């Protein structure tokens, strides 16, 4: 698995697994665990979760899937903005550590901007880092104004990642945010690369996929990985799709492929607000 290194020294696999909605339904718990574990076996050792997902249930699923494998994994979780005061961040991290059944979190993110001062959240992140409870920290769903605010905060230089909504159909970050982050060594972590399944039915994507003998989903994932400094997370709870996702990390799209996809899904010709899910 290729990797991306951030300005803080974090080394992230370029493709990882998401956990949105995992842990929400008990009858699906073993299926979710099996899917994550297969992904680990196939090299998808980065797993992204959050205290918000299923009210902590997703973190508990990750804990079960990670049993006996923790040292080989890169665990990412997030604190809710409503919890992101200095004291609240510390308490939220401790709760996530308990649910994840681990001594450390590899990457801890502020889920989106909120009302608590950014300085307080990042100070708490830095303290958790000094205590060895997190290895690296970052943000999620931050547009340019908020990223500039991050850089103005003393602990802002420690921000390693900005996790954002990015796929063929949502290319607004390419105008400013993506190059700004990559230039500074801040990795972009793209979520929802299939645009919640809408992309896989698009004609241009199907045509490129047929030429390569792969699925449209694999092309959509591979496209997000074409640029340096970008990591992608994709969620799947079925073994068939986990295998497809893992194979996408090794795909290389040619100039003709990229030209066709650019024509079908052009980058906006004007600045647009950061989109979220």
Token pair of 262, please? Answer: 């650019």
* Residue 53 annotated to the active site: yes
Task: Identify the active-site residue in 53, 108, 137, 191.
Answer: 53
Q: How far apart are CA 11 and CA 74, in angstroms?
A: 9
Residue with tokens 């919890």: 83
Burial bucket for residue 157 (CB in 10 Å: 0-12, 13-18, 19+): middle
CA angle 72, 77, 79 (to 5 degrees): 155
Give the largest CA-CA distance in the chain: 54
Q: Does residue 199 sit in helix, strand or coil? A: helix
Closest CA to 162 of 185, 130, 196: 185
List the catalytic residues: 53
């Amino acid at each position: 698995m290729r990797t991306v290194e951030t300005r803080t020294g974090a080394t992230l696999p370029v493709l990882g697994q998401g956990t949105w909605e995992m842990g929400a339904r008990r009858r699906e718990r073993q299926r979710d665990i099996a899917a994550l574990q297969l992904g680990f076996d196939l090299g998808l050792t980065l797993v992204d979760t959050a205290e918000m997902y299923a009210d902590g249930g997703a973190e508990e699923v990750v804990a079960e899937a990670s049993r006996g494998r923790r040292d080989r994994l890169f665990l990412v979780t997030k604190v809710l903005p409503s919890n992101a005061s200095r004291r609240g961040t510390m308490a939220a991290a401790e709760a996530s550590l308990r649910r994840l059944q681990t001594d450390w979190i590899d990457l801890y993110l502020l889920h989106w901007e909120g009302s608590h001062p950014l300085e307080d959240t990042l100070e708490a992140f830095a303290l958790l880092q000094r205590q060895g409870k997190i290895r690296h920290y970052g943000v999620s769903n931050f547009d340019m104004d908020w990223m500039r605010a991050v850089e103005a905060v003393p602990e802002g230089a420690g921000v390693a990642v900005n996790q954002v909504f990015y796929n063929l159909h949502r290319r607004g970050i390419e105008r400013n945010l993506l190059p700004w982050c990559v230039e500074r060594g801040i990795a972009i972590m793209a979520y929802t690369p299939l645009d919640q399944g809408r992309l896989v039915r698009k004609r241009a994507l199907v045509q490129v996929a047929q030429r390569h003998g792969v699925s449209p989903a694999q092309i959509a994932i591979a496209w997000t990985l074409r640029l340096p400094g970008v990591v992608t997370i994709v969620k799947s709870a079925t073994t068939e799709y986990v295998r497809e996702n893992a194979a996408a990390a090794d795909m290389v799209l040619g100039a003709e492929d990229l030209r066709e996809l650019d024509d079908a899904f052009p980058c906006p010709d004007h600045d647009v607000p950061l989109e979220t899910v």
